Structure 1
Amino acid sequence: MAQTARRTRGVTIIDVAKQAGVSPMTVSRVINADSGVRDQTRERVNEAIRALNYKPNMMARSLVTSRELRIGVIYSNPSAAFMSDFLGGVFEEASARAAQLILLKGKDGKAPTPEAIEGLIASGVGGILLAPPLGEMPLVRQVLRAANLPVAVVGGTAPDAISVGIDNRRAAYDMTRHLIELGHRRLGFILGNPDQSASAERLSGFQEAVREAGTAEAQIAQGDFSYASGLVAGEQLLDAPTPPTAIFASNDDMAAAVVSVAHRRHLDVPADLTVTGFDDTTAAVTLWPPLTTIRQPVLELAAEALQLLIREMRAGTIAPAGEERSRVLQHVLVERQSTAPPARS
């Protein structure tokens, strides 16, 4: 029955891809004699072409080739500052490599529906780039896994995808040590979205530095990386019977919210309260005082992930997990005017 239907409509590149167990883009590369395809994969595709008696036409070949760098970018992040830098890095790299971007945005920090993601895939993209936290959402990964497309994840962990990020644990440790060296012993920490591995890693680095100090006390409040959650967490920490003298927020948006809370309470930052953030987005330098923060090279992370994704798309096969599919970029502790030694009691 299936063979009769195939003869009626003609064998397509999708039929060949299914027969060979590869993506349609890989079949296209074999047909166009792309040298980036592995010999074993090339032979498997050619066997499927012979078995199905597939006859590509020149128009179809031209169309598929023109879409080789058609990339889907899926994002949904409550931090507007982070997303501004992320998309800036993606657009710049895509422009340099003549790649076409198709954007899909989730609402209110949530993932797009499976139907929306499937629609993006059906539009003919050859790879997918995921902004945090989407790379760690099981439903998103399940839909993309079924599509058998190269996927790159920024700022998260995904064993079956390209991943690019920083050492979040070490970065948080470095910032906490900096606060302790300034003389702070009552430290507050605002946790990020509990569903993201980066949140747990930053908390781990903070706690490790506190344990090593021995004399430091820690208070922790829950946030979700949004400015609104930083307002709530900041109020909670400053309402404590013995409030912290320094608050380290897991991103700049939440740190900016803590500065706002301090100003409402007529607390001087940093004379009365030290505040630090994480990311070094535009939010860190558009308020007073400018934030001491961890510089996460968001533009570079996005550009690096797109580079690796394009390389894999051109190769025509999904590389095995390991160093070639993972990058850890360097963070930097940037000191500005939001930090100072604690005021004398």
Structure 2
Amino acid sequence: MKANIFDVAKKSGLSVVTVSRVLNNAASVRQSNRDKVLKAMEELDYRPNASARSLAKGRTGVIGLTLTTLHDAFLDTVVKEITDCLAEQGYFLALSVAPSFEASHQSLFQHDRVDGVILLSPVEEDAYVRELKQKRIPFVMLDNQHQDPSVTSILVDNFRGGYEATKHLIELGHNKIAHIRGSASFLSSRNRERGFMTAMAESGLEPYCIEDGEFDIASGYEVASRWIEDGRLPTAVFAADDYIAIGVMDACKNAGLKVPVDLSVVGFDDQLLASQLRPYLTTVRQPARALGQTGAELLLGYIDGAPASGESVLLSPELIVRASTAAPRTNHHEQEGDR
């Protein structure tokens, strides 16, 4: 039979109140009594229930998470990792899926409802930060859009990802490389574009063109269709995310063009579709699990009393080379002529 707090009290020869104070790290407990309780816990293999500890400390045992959509495999992986990490510590996750601050904060941001909040890819994040600071609710931001030194944030090194994606295309021999960027309101978009520009400049190349897009299939399809109609297709494109890249590949397929023979394509995120649609997509994998785990661990630390330092954690992405990139067609002809 599993040991309980009364068994620990009996084994240690102390009161249940004293055992409870030890479990809650109360400073008023004498060290000798603390040692007796800890020894009894060890001998009985007693593991205090996290939910019970939360109630004893006046907590809800619930963490709030706000995001704008669930229609994204990357965000889905982050949320799953956060859920698993919190569950291990006896916490439940409450989701608020809303397009704006006004739509989500009234139901979620209350001390008697959550012990802390995770903001995942937030929009209007300044409003969230003001509200949470005013109510003194611990929080962390994941994949946020502004860098605030007073706020703890966990970000992916999108500059590095954009740089490595572009260098991959350059090393294959491409010099007519285009970029379809995401919305400028996202820090990730701006940094991916900056990585693209840096890699091009270091190689003495000018961008073939830079096109405005959104993080969706439609914008990639529209841009690529326009290139094909105008007869000005680049030899390679770095798309700001996988959905844009898939849109580009779909436009090529409908026009009778082949990827990567006629156009090499690189995406970003490593969405589930990237390894399911053919040709498999070369992309930059975001460390979704590390993002979720780091965010959950830092938030739980703040809830348990660690000082909120406003630290910024930068995680590294990984280039995943698949079948959608190859040397440009001219290089193929040259190699065939040399044989």
> Under a length normalisation based on structure 2, what TM-score does the superposition of the two structures give?
0.76
RMSD of aligned residue pairs (Cα, Å): 2.6
Q: Give the one of 299, 324, 332 matched to 1:338.
A: 324
Question: Any stretches of 5+ residues in structure 2 without a counterpart?
Answer: 1-20, 28-51, 334-339
For residues 170 and 129 of structure 1, do their structure 2 counterparts lie closer, same or farther at Cα, with a shift above 3 Å needed?
same
Tell me by how many angstroms 1:299 deviates: 1.8
Aligned to 1:198: 188
**C-alpha displacement at 1:213, in angstroms?**
1.6
1:89 aligns to what?
Answer: 81
Residue 139 of structure 1: how far off its partner (Å) = 2.5
Q: Does 1:127 align with 2:116?
A: yes
Q: Distance in 1 between matches of 2:265 and 2:54?
A: 56
| Cα distance in 1, alignment partners of residues 198 and 54 from structure 2 | 56
- For 2:109 and 2:59, the matched residues in 1 are separated by 12
Q: Output the CA distance in 2 between the equivalents of 1:98 and 1:62.
A: 9
2:252 corresponds in structure 1 to: 262
What is the SS of the residue equivalent to 1:278? coil
Q: Does the 8 Å contact 1:133/1:196 carry over to 2?
A: no
Q: 1:121/1:184 Cα in 2 relative to 1: closer, same or farther (>3 Å)? A: same
CA distance in 1 between partners of 2:288 and 2:248 (Å): 22
The alignment-based identity, stated in percent, is 32
Question: How far, CA to CA, are the matches of 1:62 and 1:302 in structure 2?
Answer: 22
1:187 aligns with 2:159: no
Q: How many Å separate the matches in 1 of 2:114 and 2:128?
A: 16
Distance in 2, matches of 1:255 and 1:78, equals: 20
Instruction: Note the C-alpha offset of 1:309.
Output: 0.7
Structure 1 residue 79: deviation in Å?
A: 5.4
8 Å Cα contact 1:78/1:226 also seen in 2: no
Kindly tell me: are residues 61 and 247 of structure 1, through their superposed partners in 2, closer, same or farther at Cα, counting changes over 3 Å?
closer
- CA offset at residue 283 of structure 1? 2.1
Other structure's SS at 2:267 match = strand
In structure 1, the partner of 2:94 is 102
Structure 1 or 2, whichever has the larger Rg, is: 2
Give the corresponding residue for 2:202. Answer: 212
1:192-341 to 2 correspondence within 5 Å? 192-315=182-305, 318-321=307-310, 325-341=311-327
Name the counterpart of 1:6: none
- Contact 1:183–1:341, Cα closer than 8 Å, also in 2: yes
Partner Cα distance (2:172, 2:263) in 1: 12
Written as runs of structure 1 = structure 2, the 5 A alignment for 1:165-176 is 165-176=155-166
Structure 1 letter corresponding to 2:266:
T
Contact kept, 8 Å, 1:194 with 1:224, in 2: the verdict is no
Partner of 1:155: 143
**Structure 1 211/102 Cα, relative in aligned 2: closer, same or farther at 3 Å?**
same
How far is the alpha carbon of 1:241 from its aligned partner? 4.3
2:54–2:60 CA contact under 8 A, matched in 1: no
Residues 173 and 239 (structure 1 numbering): CA distance in 2 closer, same or farther, change over 3 Å?
farther
**CA deviations over 1:205-239 (Å, ceiling 9, x no partner):** 10111112224433111122122333233334444
Residue 40 of structure 1 is matched in structure 2 by none
**5+ long unaligned stretches in structure 1:** 1-28, 36-59
* C-alpha contact 1:210 1:218 (8 A) present in aligned 2: no
Matched, 1:71 2:63: yes
Cα–Cα, structure 1 residues 66 and 105, in superposed 2: closer, same or farther, change >3 Å? same
Q: CA deviation at 1:160?
A: 2.9
- The equivalent residue for 2:36 is none
Name the CA shift for 1:82/1:227 in 2 (closer, same or farther; >3 Å). Answer: farther
CA contact (8 A) 2:66 2:122 kept: no
